[in-house]
Amino acid sequence: MGGTGVGVSGTGGHGTGANGTHRGGAVRRAGVPAVLLLLALALAAALVAGLALGPVRIPADRVLAIVLGRESTGPLASIVWDVRMPRVLLGAVVGAGLAVCGAVLQALVRNQLADPFLLGASSGASAGAVLVLVLGAGASFAGLSLPAAAFGGALAALVAVYALARRGGTMTTGRLILAGVAVQYVLSALTSLVVVLAAKADQVRSVMFWTLGGLGGARWNELALPAVALALGTGLLLTLARPLDLLLTGEEDARTLGLDTGRFRAAVFVLTSLVVGVLVAYSGSIGFVGLMAPHAARAVVGAGHRALLPVAALGGAVFLTLADLVARTAAAPEEIPVGVVTALIGGPFFLWMLRRSPRTEGVAG
């Protein structure tokens, strides 16, 4: 895996180097602002669609009039501002955060099949949140018990999966996936045990929210913490773009170039766990956003993280906003958990990636 022209191992390789250079790489870098602009416009359109569509359909021009303040009273304004706006904004924030964390985790383990869901971070965060919810501690510590427990669960799950996958000094794609699946099963069993032994009837629905994912509980007063976690986490990770690029060159090359890979991985694991924990505390476990969005972004702008992270963030925001729109309109008046929608899309995508990745044998430690 030496040199800067190496692809991310375990993905079949596309000639994409750690610094984002390959055939046509200069063209891709030059087109990054245009890609960001297109994605921003797509996100704006997705947000308007999310505000307009639902059990009560509101024409797009009325939505824009309400958002711009030209129509501030009436039932439609209440639906837009009090019901749909917090939900679509939370969806955009969560989608962006999961995509960014997915891109970073793929660099940390040097495998494009990694994401917060497949590596157990989302399941760990959900398990931590369910423990707090069922044990009745969620109202303490200024309402921070859920995010704190979700962070602890996400970090513990990531550490366990990484340790299991690297056992013996070599990490393979198969071992990484098996470790993630094993940890998810253990966490799922723990969550089920807590629900069976301790949950009351009125808590079961809340527990289902955490395990299947959903944005229906979004409220204005709950947007601040996820938004701050996204902004600070993405900002810090952007400052780490160069060391993340160095990891893609290989462990030995990264050390030769001055990167303390052990400390760096530990610090970034903590940071991504914190972001995932906060997001999952408000959205439940939503899978595959962190797998698909970075993969699509990498195909457009290359592997360099300074361009990859913002493009993946916008792509993840668009995807989850549209997935939530499908979740609440496809079977109206019933609502499908958005985690089910992302799994129905992401599961086949994951299998397709696994099938087209012939070099899944080893990632040298």
Query: Mean pLDDT for each 10-residue chunk of the chain (365 residues)?
Result: 40 42 47 94 96 92 90 88 95 97 90 82 84 66 70 87 77 76 88 76 71 86 93 96 90 84 86 89 89 94 94 97 94 88 92 70 38
For residue 115, the model assigns a pLDDT of 84
- H/E stretch holding 201 reads helix 201-212
For residue 194, the model assigns a pLDDT of 80
Q: How far is CA 203 from CA 48, 197, 206, in A?
A: 33, 12, 5
For residue 69, the model assigns a pLDDT of 85
251, 235, 284, 286: which is closest to 104 by C-alpha?
Answer: 235
For residue 361, the model assigns a pLDDT of 41
Asked if residues 43 and 29 have their Cβ atoms less than 8 Å apart, the reply is no
Asked if residues 86 and 227 have their Cβ atoms less than 8 Å apart, the reply is no
* Dihedral sign, Cα of residue 170, residue 352, residue 108, residue 253: positive
Place of tokens 């109206």: 332
227, 211, 48, 62: which is closest to 125 by C-alpha?
Answer: 211
Place of tokens 């917060």: 116
Q: Alpha helices of 168-200 — where are they, by DSSP H?
A: 173-198
Asked if residues 109 and 363 have their Cβ atoms less than 8 Å apart, the reply is yes
- How far apart CA 146 and CA 279 sit, in angstroms, is 10
For residue 20, the model assigns a pLDDT of 42
- pTM value is 0.84
Amino acid letter, residue 71 = E
Give the DSSP per-residue string, 44-70: HHHHHHHHH-SSS---HHHHHHHHTTS
Token pair, residue 26, equals: 């200069």
- How far apart CA 247 and CA 268 sit, in angstroms, is 12
The residues that bridge with 171 in the sheet, in sequence order, are 363
- H/E stretch holding 152 reads helix 145-165
- H/E stretch holding 94 reads helix 85-108
